[in-house]
Chains A and B, each alone.
Chain A
Amino acid sequence: MIKKAWFQLSVTILSIILIFFVMVPIVKLVFGSSPELLVNTAKEKEVYSTILLTFKASLAATLLSLILGIPLAYFLARADFSAKVIIEGIINLPVIIPHTAAGIALLTVYGNNFFLGKFFNLFGISFVGRFAGIVVAMMFVGIPFLLNDTLEGFKSIDPRLEKVSRSLGASPAQTFFKIALPLNSSHIISGSLMMWAIGLSEFGAVVIMAYHPMTAPVLIYERFASFGLKYSRPIAAIMVIASLIIFIILRLVNNRIGMFQRDREESL
C-alpha cells in the first residue's frame, strides 16, 4: 500500500515538474508585457509583416511538402525493397543534424553560385535572402515530421482494403484517391500541423538562407541582440499568442477528423 502511494506520488510530482518546466517560461513571456505594449508592438509594420511572412512561408513549405511527401510516404508504406530502411533513415536526417549545419548544407546547393541555385536562376527563382530560401529551409527541417506521420498512417491502413477496391474495378490511382488518402487524412493533417509549427519556430537554417526578409524568430533574435530583452519580449509574446490561437483552432478541427479515424481503427 505504502509502495503504491509512493509510486503514485512520484509520478505526480515528476509530471508537475515537467509541466511547470514547459509552462512557466511561456506564461511569464506572455504575461510579462502589458497588453498596451503588446498591442502597440503588434501594430508595428515590421512586426506584423514579419509574423505574416513567417506564417505564409511555413504554410508554403508545408503545402509543397504535402505534394512531394504524400506520394513518397505511400510508396514507402506499400513497397517492399531492401533499401527502404536507408531511405527512411535519410528522410530523418534533418532531425538529427544541427539546423545551422542544415542551413549551410542548403546554401551549398541553393546558393546563387551552386548547381540548383544556378538552375532555378534560369527561371528567375533565387533563394538566398528571398522568400523561396525561407521556404526551402523550413521544408528541409520540417519534412521528417510530415513524412513520418503520413507514413505511419498509410502503414496502418489494411492493404486488403485497397485490394478490394482494385477487385471492384478501381485503378491504382482511383484506389489511392478514394481509399488510401481519405483513410489517412487524420495522420496527414496532424503531420502537416506539426511541420507548420516546426517551420514557424525555425531559426538556424532560415537565418543562414535568408537573414532578410526576416521571419519572426530572426526578428526576435535581432531585437534581442541589438536592443535587449525588453524589446524582443513583446514580439516573442505576440508570436506565441498568434501560434497558440491558430493551433488550438486547427487541433479542434483535426480532433474531429481524429475521432473518426480512431473509430475506424477500432472497427478494423
Chain B
Amino acid sequence: MIKLKNIRKKLSDFTINNINLNVKKGEYLVILGPTGTGKTILLELIAGLIKADHGQIFFDDKNVSSYPPEDRKVGMVYQDYMLFPHLNVKDNIAFGLNIKGVKDNKIKSEVQDIVELFSIDNLLSRNVRTLSGGEQQRVALARALITSPQVLLLDEPLSALDPSTKESFQTELKKIHNKLKTTTLHVTHDFKEALALADRIAVMNEGKIVQIGSADEIFKKPANNFVANFIDSKNIFSVKKIRNNVVQIEGKNSLINISVIGFCKNKANIVIRPENIIISNEKFTSTALNCFKGEIKHIVDKIFYLEVMIDIGVEVFAYITKQSYKKIDIFQGKEVYITFKASSVHIY
C-alpha cells in the first residue's frame, strides 16, 4: 500500500537517512522512537508537506513523490490536534468536504455518520476552544477520516491526554481502526502505546529505521543496544564467544559463562528479559541451562510487580509477582539462585 524507497531529507540540523518502509493495506504501523528522531518529519514527508531530497514514495504502486499534499489523500492528526480555532466543530469536521465542493446534503449526512462513530454528535455547534483534550482529539480524527483518506497519519495523538483518557482512547482508536481498516501510521515515543495498538512497530533512531517487526519481535528480540535500551530490556550485556552455544560475560570479579542458542559472533551483545528469570531459594534441577548464585541488592515495588536486582558478578534484574514475593520470602542481602533457559537469551 505505502512504500518508501531510499527516502532522504536533510534539514538544517537533522537528516532523515535512507528510509525504506513497506506498509500493508489496512495495517496499523507504529513508528516508535525518542523525541527528535525524525518521526514527525517522516509523516510530513509521506503527507507531501515536506519534499524529500532523494527517494520515492508510492501509494498503491503509484509514485506520489511529486504530488502536492492536497492530491495525496492523507489524513493528518497532530499531537495538539490543530483544530481551526475560527471554525466550530461542525465546520472543522466538514472542512475537507467543503474544500472538495461536496454538496451540502451529502456533507450533512457524512458529518452525521462520522460524529456518530466518534460519539461527538452533541458537540457539533460547539466552539473548538471549549472542548476537552479528549473531545478535541475525536474532532481532529473525525475531520481527518471524513475525507476517506488512503492513509491516516497520527503524530503522537495520545501524548497530550491524561492517563485515563489516553487508555480509553487507545481502545477506541483500535476499535475504529478495526472498523474502517484505514492504513495508519502512528508516531509515538511510548512503547506501551505501541504494544497496545500496533500490527507492526518500526523503531526509529537518529533519522533511521533501526528495526521493524511485530511487537513481540521487538520486545523479545531487539536488533541492537538502542532498541534494547529504548524498550527497557534491563539485562543487556556485552559478551564474547567461548565455544558454540556458550558466551562469557566479564563480571566484576569473575567471568560468567552463559548458555545460549543460535549463531553468535566472537563479540556480541545479549539481552535477557527480566520476566524470563526465575528466582529460587535453592538450586533446582530443570531443563534450564543457566543457573547462578547471587545476592539480592534491592527490591523495588512497581505496583503490579516487583523488580529485583540480583548481583551474580554482574547486576541482573528479574520481575516477580507479589504472590511469588510472599511465597519465597526474599529480602535485600539474601542469597538466592537465578535460573533462565538458553532460549531466553537473545543474541545480537
Contacts and interface: CB of A to CB of B under 8 A. Distances in A.
B141 to A, nearest CB: 12
Contact of A169 (B80, B86, B147, B153): B147
Interface string B122-149: 0000001100000000000001100100
Given A164-B82, A168-B144, A169-B100, 4 more contacts: A160-B78, A167-B74, A168-B96, A178-B99
A171 interface: yes
Q: Which of A163, A168, A263 has the most B CB atoms < 10 Å from its CB?
A: A168
Contact of A179 (B84, B96, B128): B84
A268 interface: yes
B47 to A, nearest CB: 5
Contacts of A268: 80, 85
B81 to A, nearest CB: 9
B128 A267 contact: yes
A148 B44 CA distance: 30
B348 interface: no
Given A167-B47, A168-B95, A174-B99, A161 B70 contact: no
Interface in B48-104: 48-49, 68-70, 72-76, 78, 80, 82, 84-86, 95-96, 99-100
Contact of B86 (A160, A164, A167, A183): A183
B82 A267 contact: no
B129 A264 contact: yes
A84 to B, nearest CB: 14
Interface of A: 158, 160-161, 163-171, 174, 178-179, 182-183, 260, 263-264, 266-268
B327 to A, nearest CB: 54
Nearest to B49: A163
A168 B72 CA distance: 9
28 contacts: A158-B82, A160-B82, A161-B82, A163-B44, A163-B78, A163-B82, A164-B76, A164-B78, A164-B82, A165-B95, A166-B47, A166-B48, A166-B70, A167-B49, A167-B69, A167-B144, A168-B70, A168-B147, A169-B70, A169-B147, A170-B95, A178-B95, A178-B99, A183-B86, A263-B85, A264-B86, A267-B85, A268-B80
Contacts of A158: 82
B100 to A, nearest CB: 6
Nearest to B149: A167
Given A163-B44, A268-B85, A170 B99 contact: yes
Given A167-B74, A167-B75, A263 B129 contact: yes
Contacts of B69: 163, 166-167
Nearest to A185: B86
